[in-house]
Structure 1
């Protein structure tokens, strides 16, 4: 798993929630990233975020599957009081 800061966690959440991992560009809209940022505000400032790879627009996409699906992507986030997992799987 890869540790993410809150900004990268918001981007990965937007990628997972709004793009096609198999057929789309992995570039969520600015509005989707903003919505993801807002959703993550429920966690404390020192929350930990994890994903299965790098889903950055400025670097090559690379990930390690954690499911049997051809493509999978998501975010795990937690602080002392709350936790969540948002994960998607996609086949081509």
Structure 2
């Protein structure tokens, strides 16, 4: 089995443990979730944890980004991270839904010893 296929299966299993996805489409199919490096994963985590998806821009404060980087530091160098978008500061954002919420942002991460999912839903 190719490593990319295994990684997506693991991410799907992590999401399933918390009852996701609930969206109409399958976010794990066709590479809809974005494979993120550690720096981009920390950005997504900071956006999900500290910004409003409904109002404002997806631009976390430096302290939030630092905290997200520190949180991910416990994961092995070869850890895998998936997000439902890149959540970069841009005029229009797009993401792949895992839920039926109007707005959502999240991160799934794992290494050989631990795994997590951090998902935020907002309604306007």
Same fold (TM over 0.5): yes
TM bucket by the smaller chain?
Answer: over 0.9
State the aligned residue count.
Answer: 92
Match of 1:11 in 2: 43
Q: Who wins on radius of gyration, i.e. which is larger? A: 2
C-alpha distance in structure 2 between counterparts of 1:86 and 1:30, whole Å: 19
SS of 1:87's equivalent in the other structure is strand
> Aligned-pair RMSD on alpha carbons?
1.3
C-alpha distance in structure 2 between counterparts of 1:47 and 1:60, whole Å: 29
SS of 2:66's equivalent in the other structure is helix
Greater percentage in strand: 1
Match of 2:57 in 1: 25
Greater percentage in helix: 2
